[in-house]
């Protein structure tokens, strides 16, 4: 494009394209017309459209300026060349000399060697790249912001043409395995325990956009204001539902969702998009697509998960704008159904009939997603991170969900259904046995008492105290509520939260771990810097000591919440006795502050430390006299001990509690704590696995804290165990020095009738 050329705004270009898009003829012919119009309107010598094909390949589908024979012949892999680079990163590219760029890939059949300047933008649909739109000119120049804006708006229009399926058959992108007629097992991440069987219902985004181009921006802004007001009423209606009454994490999630609806940032971006010539509906969709593409490049999974709330809000807003109103409760047509989705927002979940919803299967998701919190509150089994679930689970198919193992079975055969029925029966029988054990002590056959506690992160988790008969809360992860909030909770908010925890515990002990934020636990409102090794980075007590106001506010809230009741506080990620002394000093200052104001002190104050950093083991002789209790966090301790990232599946077998080194370390810690008279517990994942818990008991551990679902199995193991013979057996295994103690322990359990 020559310097100083007159460029029309996106509104005029959109009007010209609208007639072509709505006109008759094949989609290919219309696409050919579109690239010609764009080239003419933008005074570009080349305009080309590449569309995504199966195998992550971009194919040249239409061009004005390049050689016609290159159409449907030129292909680039995602990441290959400049076009592939735009697709790989979902970002525009604006180059005055494209051929000088190191990623430039020359295709002789196109004849593009005479063109120097290049501007390209991704064509986005559903947050995913479905193509790339490019303009080129012979003269080297840098395209201005208005030109880039015009091309991005046009790309959005093209996405509507692509999604119609006339250019690329959507089935082409479906994994061939989806056509298999027999049973198919899909693995994922277990998020909410339980078993479910039902008919697959695909969660569809029910938000249609009619007109894309607007003639009157002022009228579109007026419509937007009215729709936002209606949207807020819609969220209030959800909050007023009978099963949302009272307090709980599921209600907190929806309250946070309502705050997102009032966020000024995304509303301003929508108004700016309206100013470019789009209707209000199209403006909302454009902001949604741009945000999706941007968030897809963010490494922080928590921040990406918050995009689900904005997706949900955008879809609801589009429905209100298009006259659809608030969505009625979704009619799935199935008595028992399994909901399948890429991802979901909390309000979308509430649109479905929870009396018939049996399970959830998502392509995304984690334990801290808002949808997981809602599913947990309503006891809906859920499996997340099921790769290609939408393409591999057809609507109407029978689906089995195993929320315990993180497994989904599509089209289960008769034998699988029979096995599923047996699993359901067996699980019900086990649950009945666990219920019968609820009020019985976790006491071994030779009279050794084991304290069984639960780990909690949300208020809803405390309901399991009564269900399991646990002795108390061995680990309260205080950072989880911070991770689902939209802003940093102040002292009053924290006080109310901790008071609720103590109230629900009803006199049973609760060990509050101070904030373990930082590293991979990022807060959306907290500035963070990417770290190469986040697990060993600026996190937990390191944040608290470097930002003492944060730690002091939390300690102040804990003291207020206790209000004369017993209080147990433990500090995470302590690496030295000096760090503990500094943290304890801040606690003492807050105790003195409370006393000065006449506030009641905790009836009993117990202060402890999480043993997660191996260096602390050699400082225990100095540290233990200052502690009331020590809690071993095996998750971090073992990964640091064996220099193995526990999140890396390739290293899963390279660190294990059931190894001589790990059990020798635990035996040493047990001995030091016993000599100092300090209570010891283990609150990592190993505590909830019966075989590993048995090994811990064998080396002298008498306190275990675990996920609520694991209390029953571990208690059943304890009540069938004789500790003294186990201790002698472990000592004999130590002398034999096997690399892995697992088989020996499993043999011991079988020989003594212990279910592990």
Catalytic residue numbers, as ranges: 370, 683
For the four alpha carbons of 330, 333, 336 and 339, in that order, the dihedral sign comes to: negative
CB 482 within 8 A of CB 515: yes
Q: Beta strand pairing status for 451-456 and 189-192? A: unpaired
**Rounded distance between C-alpha atoms, residue 72 and residue 59, angstroms:** 6
**Rounded distance between C-alpha atoms, residue 537 and residue 554, angstroms:** 21
Q: In what order do the strands lie in the sheet with 337-341?
A: 184-187, 407-410, 398-402, 195-202, 337-341, 357-362, 382-384, 189-192
Q: List the structure tokens of 591.
A: 């105790």
> The tokens 């696409």 sit on which residue?
31
With 0-12 / 13-18 / 19 or more C-beta atoms within 10 angstroms meaning exposed / middle / buried, residue 122 is buried
Q: Beta strand pairing status for 605-611 and 629-632? A: parallel
Q: List the structure tokens of 570.
A: 């433990």
Helix (H, G, I), strand (E, B) or coil at 93: strand
Q: List the structure tokens of 181.
A: 């007629």
Tally of CB atoms within 10 A around 648: 10
CB 716 within 8 A of CB 454: no
Q: In what order do the strands lie in the sheet with 93-95?
A: 75-77, 57-64, 46-53, 128-137, 117-125, 93-95
With 0-12 / 13-18 / 19 or more C-beta atoms within 10 angstroms meaning exposed / middle / buried, residue 23 is exposed
To which H or E segment does residue 542 belong?
A: helix 541-546
CA-nearest of 623, 624, 689, 621 to 656 is: 689
CB 503 within 8 A of CB 511: no
Q: Beta strand pairing status for 398-402 and 407-410? A: antiparallel
CA-nearest of 212, 157, 138, 170 to 35 is: 157
Q: Beta strand pairing status for 93-95 and 117-125? A: antiparallel
CB 619 within 8 A of CB 676: no
Q: List the structure tokens of 352.
A: 């479905």
> The tokens 């005055």 sit on which residue?
96
Query: Any bridge partners for residue 337, and if so which?
Result: 199, 357
Query: Any bridge partners for residue 340, and if so which?
Result: 202, 361
**Rounded distance between C-alpha atoms, residue 139 and residue 96, angstroms:** 8
**Rounded distance between C-alpha atoms, residue 19 and residue 678, angstroms:** 79
Q: How far apart are the first and last CA of the chain?
A: 73
**Rounded distance between C-alpha atoms, residue 714 and residue 704, angstroms:** 9
**Rounded distance between C-alpha atoms, residue 124 and residue 127, angstroms:** 6
**Rounded distance between C-alpha atoms, residue 165 and residue 185, angstroms:** 29
């Amino acid at each position: 494009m020559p310097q100083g050329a007159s460029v029309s705004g996106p509104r005029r270009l959109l009007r010209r394209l609208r007639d072509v898009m709505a006109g008759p003829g094949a989609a290919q012919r219309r696409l050919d017309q579109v690239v010609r119009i764009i080239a003419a309107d933008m005074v570009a010598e080349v305009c080309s459209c590449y569309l995504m094909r199966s195998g992550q390949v971009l194919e040249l589908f239409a061009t004005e300026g390049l050689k016609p024979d290159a159409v449907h012949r030129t292909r680039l892999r995602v990441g290959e060349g400049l076009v592939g680079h735009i697709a790989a990163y979902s970002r525009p590219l604006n180059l005055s000399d494209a051929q000088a760029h190191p990623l430039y890939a020359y295709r002789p059949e196109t004849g593009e060697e005479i063109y120097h300047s290049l501007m390209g933008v991704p064509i986005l649909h559903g947050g995913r790249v479905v193509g790339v739109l490019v303009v080129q000119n012979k003269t080297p120049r840098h395209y201005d912001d208005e030109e880039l804006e015009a091309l991005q708006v046009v790309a959005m229009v093209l996405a509507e043409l692509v999604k119609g399926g006339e250019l690329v058959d959507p089935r082409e992108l479906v994994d061939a395995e989806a056509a298999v007629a027999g049973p198919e097992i899909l693995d994922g991440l277990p998020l909410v325990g339980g078993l479910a069987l039902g008919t697959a219902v695909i969660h569809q985004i029910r938000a249609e956009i009619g007109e894309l181009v607007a003639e009157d921006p002022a009228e579109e802004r007026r419509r937007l204001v009215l729709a936002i007001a209606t949207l807020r009423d819609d969220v209030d209606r959800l909050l007023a539902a009978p099963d949302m009454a009272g307090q709980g994490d599921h209600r907190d999630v929806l309250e946070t969702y309502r705050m997102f609806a009032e966020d000024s940032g995304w509303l301003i971006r929508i108004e700016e998009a309206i100013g470019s010539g789009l209707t209000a509906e199209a403006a909302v969709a454009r902001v949604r697509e741009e945000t999706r593409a941007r968030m897809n490049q963010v490494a922080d999974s928590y921040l990406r998960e918050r995009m689900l709330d904005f997706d949900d809000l955008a879809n609801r807003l589009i429905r209100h704008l298009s006259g659809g109103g608030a969505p009625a409760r979704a009619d799935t047509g199935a008595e028992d159904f399994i909901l399948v989705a890429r991802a979901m927002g909390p309000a979308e979940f509430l649109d479905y009939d929870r009396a018939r919803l049996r399970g959830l299967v998502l392509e995304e998701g984690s334990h801290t997603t808002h949808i997981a919190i809602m599913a947990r509150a309503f006891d809906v089994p859920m499996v997340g991170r099921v790769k290609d679930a939408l393409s591999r689970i057809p609507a109407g198919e029978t689906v089995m969900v195993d929320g315990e193992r993180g497994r989904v079975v599509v089209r289960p055969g008769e034998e699988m259904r029979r096995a599923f029925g047996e699993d359901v029966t067996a699980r019900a029988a086990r649950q009945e046995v666990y219920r019968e054990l609820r009020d019985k002590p976790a006491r071994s056959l030779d009279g050794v008492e084991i304290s069984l506690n639960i780990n909690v992160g949300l208020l809803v988790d405390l309901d399991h105290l009564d269900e399991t008969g646990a002795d108390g809360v061995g680990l309260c992860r205080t950072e989880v509520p911070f991770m689902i909030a939209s802003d940093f909770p102040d002292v009053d908010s924290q006080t109310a939260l901790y008071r609720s925890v103590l109230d629900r515990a009803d006199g049973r002990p609760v060990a509050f771990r101070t904030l373990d934020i930082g590293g991979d636990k990022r807060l959306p409102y907290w500035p963070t810097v990417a770290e190469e090794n986040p697990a060993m980075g600026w996190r937990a007590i390191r944040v608290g000591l470097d930002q003492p106001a944060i730690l002091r506010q939390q300690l102040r809230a804990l003291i207020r919440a206790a209000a004369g009741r017993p209080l147990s506080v433990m500090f995470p990620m302590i690496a030295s006795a000096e760090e503990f002394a500094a943290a304890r000093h801040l606690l003492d200052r807050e105790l003195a502050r409370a006393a000065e104001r006449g506030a009641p002190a905790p009836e009993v104050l117990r202060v402890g430390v999480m043993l997660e950093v191996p260096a602390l083991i050699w400082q225990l002789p100095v540290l233990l006299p200052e502690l009331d209790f020590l809690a071993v966090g095996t998750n971090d301790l073992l990964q640091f001990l064996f220099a193995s990232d526990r999140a890396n599946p390739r290293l899963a077998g390279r660190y294990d509690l059931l190894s001589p080194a790990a059990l020798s370390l635990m035996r040493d810690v047990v001995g030091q704590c016993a000599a100092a008279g300090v209570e010891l517990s283990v609150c990592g994942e190993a505590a909830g696995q019966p075989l590993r818990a048995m090994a811990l008991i064998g080396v002298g551990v008498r306190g275990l804290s675990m996920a609520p679902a694991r209390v029953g199995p571990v208690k059943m193991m304890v009540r069938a165990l004789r500790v003294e013979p186990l201790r002698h057996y472990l000592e004999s295994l130590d002398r034999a020095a096997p690399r892995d103690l697992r088989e020996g322990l499993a043999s011991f359990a079988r020989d003594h009738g212990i279910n592990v």
